[in-house]
Amino acid sequence: MTSRFVERAYDDKVVAIWSSGAAGDENPLYLRQHHNAREAKATFDKNPTAPAKEVLDSAVAELNEWVDSMGRVMAEESSCA
């Protein structure tokens, strides 16, 4: 998301590569979204029913939205545009 944001800011005339490197941890270990996705996966693994799949899909979608949001925040902070 960060790379896409920066590339769009420059009308796709640049190639942006983003890496947090050793300075950052992109594993949202203590975040609610991450916890919810892990719990839903564990529940689905134990009992792969349709309701459990719906909960898992919802938790994963929420986590993906959070990751995209954080990518946008990092892009806005790092973009010169």
Averaged pLDDT, groups of 10, the chain, 81 residues long: 84 85 58 81 91 89 84 74 51
Q: Is residue 48 part of a domain?
A: yes
Q: Is residue 23 part of a domain?
A: no
At 73 the pLDDT is 81
- Count up the domains in the chain and report the number: 1
Q: How many Å apart are CA 12 and CA 20, to the nearest integer?
A: 22
At 6 the pLDDT is 83
At 45 the pLDDT is 92
Q: Is residue 22 part of a domain?
A: no
- The answer to whether the CB of 7 falls within 8 A of the CB of 16 is yes
Q: Is residue 34 part of a domain?
A: yes
At 21 the pLDDT is 64
Q: Is residue 56 part of a domain?
A: yes
- The answer to whether the CB of 62 falls within 8 A of the CB of 40 is no
| Residue 43 in tokens | 């529940």
Pure H helices in 1-81: 2-9, 32-46, 50-78
Q: Give the structural domain span for 44.
A: 2-17+28-78
